[in-house]
């Protein structure tokens, strides 16, 4: 991997009054890699993105884009798709593209057939999938060195999600660094490296396998899966469902057996590797340290 750092933070913190939205986070993104910023809604992902882009000022710590403080010049070297997409709903598709290309002094891109078919329609009149495709097209129009995507697949169908990830991988293959936020844990496999956030803090980093480590889960098999779920939930254990398989992250099998026995439920309990989502559940249950 190259030693070049496109964007980074060093112990960056952002407070709003007594609320800490981002807490001493250190991270970086390098050319050609896809870094996934994962966490539940409210974990601090968007705040960190806005700090990295220079849209908000850190309370403590520092951020850098292309080796300097983020400003108008550094923003011209990156493509950004915010959660709200940043599109003018009362302008046409073509007018949105024209405005963005003028701002970045870039030629108008060749549109995919689906967008070309609606280029004279108001953005507010086209579907969310097409709006996301338009925002992505605009973000790439000036051939950025870094692509920052904040929840790019939220609210779109699986086919559109797959196409967007294909486009993200194409950009990374060409040397573009990509920072993408998501609360979909299954999208972690699309990333080269992950940063997990919880309650404003970076709580884990590495590949999916590195983050999960040796964390295990108990899987419960029984025809009475609904009763088993209710019994384990009543015992205040961290129970989830995978189809009709009841699962409990980081919970000793003896504890699960005892709770099921107390409820009069016969079941097979086996220990299996935890999923990334289950690992995140384990992390979220840990007390916050100061």
- Read off the CATH number of the domain in which 225 is found: 3.30.70.790
Are 183 and 98 within one domain?
yes
pLDDT at residue 25, as a whole number: 94
| Residue 116 resides in a domain | yes
Residue 226 CB neighbours (<10 A): 12
- The mean pLDDT of 146-154, rounded to a whole number, is 86
Please report whether residue 20 resides in a domain: yes
Q: Give mean pLDDT, residues 106-115.
A: 84
- Asked if pLDDT for residue 288 goes beyond 70, the answer is no
The mean per-residue pLDDT over the stretch 70-92 comes to 87
Cα torsion 126, 132, 134, 136 to 10°: value is: 180
Q: What CATH number is given to the structural domain containing 92?
A: 3.40.50.300
Regarding whether 135 and 200 lie in a shared domain, the answer is: yes
Q: Residue range 230-243: average pLDDT?
A: 87
Residue 37 located in a structural domain: yes
Same domain, 247 and 110: no
pLDDT at position 2, please?
63
Phi, psi (rounded to 5 degrees) for 151 = 55, 55
Give the range among 60-69, 113-122, 152-161 with minimum mean pLDDT. 152-161
Indicate if the pLDDT at residue 268 is higher than 80.
yes
pLDDT of residue 164: 83
Predicted model pTM? 0.82
Q: Give yes or no: residues 252 and 189 share one domain.
A: no
Same structural domain for residues 154 and 241?
A: no
Has residue 284 been placed in a domain? no
Nearest to 196 by CA among 268, 124, 276: 276
pLDDT of residue 280: 81
Answer yes or no: do 89 and 205 share one domain. Answer: yes
Residue 290 confidence (pLDDT): 43
Domain interval for residue 247:
216-273
> What is the four-CA torsion angle of 68, 69, 71, 75, rounded to 10 degrees?
60
Task: Report whether pLDDT(145) > 70.
Answer: yes
Instruction: Return the pLDDT at 229.
Output: 92
Verify that 154 and 181 share a domain, yes or no: yes
Shared domain for 85 and 227, answered yes or no, is no
The predicted structure's pLDDT at residue 59: 96
**Residue 178 sits in the same domain as residue 61:** yes
Q: Where residue 1 falls among pLDDT bands split at 50, 70, 90?
A: low
255 and 126 share one domain: no
The domain total for the chain is 2
Confidence category of residue 286, pLDDT binned at 50, 70, 90: low
Least confident of 102-111, 156-165, 186-195, 217-226: 156-165
Residue 278 lies in a domain: no
Instruction: Report yes or no on 2 lying in a domain.
Output: no
Q: Closest Cα to residue 80, out of 40, 57, 50?
A: 50
Catalogue the E-assigned strands of the chain.
Answer: 7-16, 19-29, 34-38, 60-65, 78-81, 146-150, 177-182, 193-198, 201-206, 216-221, 239-242, 245-249, 268-273
Q: How confident is the model at residue 163 (pLDDT cuts 50, 70, 90)?
A: confident
Residues 17-27: tens digit of each pLDDT: 999 999 999 99
In a domain, 91, yes or no: yes
Sequence-distant (≥ 6) Cβ neighbours of residue 146 within 8 angstroms: 6, 7, 29, 65, 66, 77, 78, 79, 176, 177, 178, 179
Residue 263 near residue 237, CB atoms below 8 Å: no
In this structure, is residue 287 part of a structural domain? no
Sign of CA dihedral 270, 271, 277, 280: positive
Q: Is residue 222 domain-shared with residue 207, that is, in the same domain?
A: no
Average pLDDT, the chain: 87
Name the domain boundary from 157, 180, 211. Answer: 211
The bridge status of strand 239-242 relative to strand 245-249 is: antiparallel
Question: How many C-beta neighbours within 10 Å does residue 134 have?
Answer: 25
Summarize the confidence of residues 228-255 as an average pLDDT: 88
Do residues 172 and 255 share a domain? Answer: no
Which residues make beta-bridge pairs with 178? Answer: 34, 147
């Amino acid at each position: 991997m190259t030693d070049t750092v496109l964007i980074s933070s060093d112990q960056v913190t952002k407070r709003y009054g007594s609320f800490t939205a981002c807490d001493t986070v250190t991270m970086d993104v390098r050319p050609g890699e896809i870094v996934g910023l994962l966490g539940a809604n409210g974990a601090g992902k968007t705040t960190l993105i806005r700090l990295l882009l220079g849209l908000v000022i850190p309370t403590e710590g520092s951020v850098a884009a292309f080796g300097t403080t983020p400003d108008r010049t550094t923003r011209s070297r990156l493509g950004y798709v915010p959660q709200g997409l940043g599109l003018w709903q009362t302008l046409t598709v073509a007018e949105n593209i024209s405005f963005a290309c003028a701002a970045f002094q870039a030629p108008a891109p060749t549109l995919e057939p689906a967008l070309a078919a609606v280029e004279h329609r108001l953005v507010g009149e086209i579907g969310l999938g097409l709006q996301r495709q338009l925002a992505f097209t605009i973000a790439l129009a000036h051939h950025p060195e870094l692509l920052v995507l904040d929840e790019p697949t939220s609210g779109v169908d699986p086919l559109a999600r797959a196409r967007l990830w294909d486009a993200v991988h194409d950009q990374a293959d060409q040397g573009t660094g990509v920072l993408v936020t998501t609360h979909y844990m299954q999208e972690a496999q699309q990333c080269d490296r992950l940063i997990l956030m919880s309650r404003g803090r970076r709580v884990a980093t590495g590949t999916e396998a590195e983050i999960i480590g040796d964390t295990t889960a108990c899987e419960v098999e029984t025809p009475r899966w609904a009763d088993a779920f209710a019994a384990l939930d009543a015992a205040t254990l961290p129970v989830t469902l995978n189809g009709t398989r009841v699962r409990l992250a980081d919970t000793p099998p003896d504890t699960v057996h005892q709770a099921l026995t107390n409820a009069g439920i016969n079941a097979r309990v086996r220990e299996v590797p935890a999923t990334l989502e289950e690992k995140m559940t384990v992390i979220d249950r840990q007390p916050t340290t100061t």
